[in-house]
Structure 1
Amino acid sequence: MSTGSSASTARPRVVLGVSGGIAAYKACELLRRLTESGHDVTVVPTAAALQFVGAPTWSALSGKPVSAEVWDGVHEVPHVRLGQTADLVVVAPATADLMAKAAHGLADDLLTNTLLTARCPVIVAPAMHTEMWEHPATVANVATLRSRGMLVIEPAEGRLTGADTGKGRLPDPEEIFEIARDVLARSGESDLGDLSGRRVVVSAGGTRERLDPVRFLGNRSSGRQGYALARAALARGAEVTLVAANVSLADPAGVKVVHVESTAELRDAVLSAAATADAVVMAAAPADFRPESTSDTKIKKADDGSAPSITLQQNPDILKEIAHDRARPDAVIVGFAAETGDATGSVLDLARAKLARKGCDLLVVNDVSGGAVFGSTDNEAVILGADGSAVDVPHGTKSALAHRIWDAVAARIPQR
Structure 2
Amino acid sequence: MKIGAIQEPSAENRVSITPDIIDALSKLGFTVSLESKAGERAYFSDADYEKAGAKIASRNEILSNSDIIVSIHELDAASAKQIGNNKCYIATLAPLATPQKMKDLATNGAKIFSMDMIPRITRAQSMDVLSSQATVSGYKAVLLAASNYSRFFPMLTTAAGTITPARVLILGAGVAGLQAIATSRRLGAVVDVFDTRPEVKEQCMSLGAKFVEVEGAADASTSGGYAVDQSEDYKRRQKEAIAKFAEKADIIITTALIPGKKAPVLITKEMVESMRQGSVIVDLAAVMGGNCEVTQNDKTIMHNGVTVIGNSNLPSTQPMDASKMYAKNILNFLKLFVNKEKQFQINMEDEIINTCLIADAGSIRHKGVLSLLG
Q: What's the TM-score, normalizing by structure 2?
A: 0.34
Between structure 1 and structure 2, the one with the greater Rg is 1
Q: What's the TM-score, normalizing by structure 1?
A: 0.31
Where relative contact order (Cα < 8 A, 6+ residues apart) is larger, the structure is 2
* Higher share of residues assigned helix: 2
